[in-house]
């Protein structure tokens, strides 16, 4: 789970970096937004996985 979370956040930051370069954005707005969204997405996925694991044990 930790590796999956790290990869998701890393890919989100790469996407934001690419968008900043593509649209010539100097304040790294796309980088910040994409990284933050990737963090929330990674947390959501991990929470869902944990809930699925705990529900299977009941």
Burial class for 21, CB neighbours closer than 10 Å (0-12, 13-18, 19+)? exposed
pLDDT mean over 32-36:
98
Q: What percent of the chain has pLDDT over 70?
A: 98
- Where are the domains positioned within the chain? 2-56
Interval 10-26: pLDDT, tens = 999 999 999 999 999 99
Answer yes or no: is pLDDT of 52 > 80.
yes
Binned at pLDDT 50, 70 and 90, residue 57 comes out as: confident
Q: What is the pLDDT of residue 58?
A: 64
CB contact set of 4 (below 8 Å; sequence gap of 6+)? 42, 45, 46
Which residues have a Cβ under 8 Å from the Cβ of 46 and sit 6 or more positions away?
1, 4, 5
């Amino acid at each position: 789970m930790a590796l999956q979370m790290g990869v998701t956040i890393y890919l989100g930051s790469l996407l934001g970096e690419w968008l900043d370069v593509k649209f010539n954005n100097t304040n790294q707005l796309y980088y910040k937004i994409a990284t933050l969204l990737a963090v929330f997405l990674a947390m959501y996925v991990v929470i869902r996985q944990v809930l699925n694991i705990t529900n299977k044990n009941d």
